[in-house]
Amino acid sequence: MPSSHDILARARALRGIPYADLDCSHFVHRAYEEAQCKYPYQSTKSFAEKTKEYFVEEALPAAGDVVLYSGHMGIYDPQGCQVLKSDQVCRQLNDDAPILSARSGGNMGVAYGRSSWFETGKKPKYFRWKGLTA
């Protein structure tokens, strides 16, 4: 059974790929696929509705969960920049970047990667792979 560690390892390895080559929904899909959590690809817009067979919505995020915002998604990494000390963006964020996504790199502004950067007045939703181990 895949673990949250497997998903985070794959997501961390995908950081820095240009957004034009790997957008946010493809980033999440690839990280999960490479961690042996296979599901049919879904865009950010249709993810919550079309992946109920594979994911369950949770009230609070845990490591490896999908974080779904209005128009953007990523993977929750509670260690964030603690494991990515050499990353320039993480240094700009004062090591406060709990969300890995296709835009977790490059010059996206000093708040990019923080939950507040993506907030549009609505709380994000969290989705956990059914049967995921810690």
For residue 120, give the CATH number of its domain.
3.90.1720.10
Residue 28 covered by a domain: yes
Which pLDDT score, from 0 to 100, does residue 89 have?
65
Which pLDDT score, from 0 to 100, does residue 109 have?
44
Which pLDDT score, from 0 to 100, does residue 84 have?
65
Residue 19 covered by a domain: yes
More confident residue, 116 or 108: 116
Average pLDDT over residues 46-75: 92
Query: What is the edge-to-edge ordering of all strands in the sheet holding 125-129?
Result: 55-58, 125-129, 66-69, 72-76, 99-100
Which pLDDT score, from 0 to 100, does residue 83 have?
66
Residue 134 covered by a domain: no
Which pLDDT score, from 0 to 100, does residue 114 have?
61
Q: Is the pLDDT score of 120 beyond 60?
A: no
How many structural domains does the chain have?
1
In the chain, what percentage of residues exceed pLDDT 90? Answer: 44
Residue 24 covered by a domain: yes
More confident residue, 96 or 27: 27
Residue 63 covered by a domain: yes
Residue 93 covered by a domain: yes
Half-sphere exposure of 116 (CA within 13 A, CB side): 5
Q: What's the whole-model pTM score?
A: 0.84
User: Could you list the residue range(s) of the whole structural domain that residue 72 is in?
Assistant: 4-129
Q: Is the pLDDT score of 18 beyond 90?
A: no
Average pLDDT over residues 123-128: 90
**Whole-number Å distance between alpha carbons of 87 and 91:** 7
Q: At what angle do helices 4-14 and 24-34 cross, to 10 degrees?
A: 130
Residue 120 covered by a domain: yes
More confident residue, 16 or 6: 6
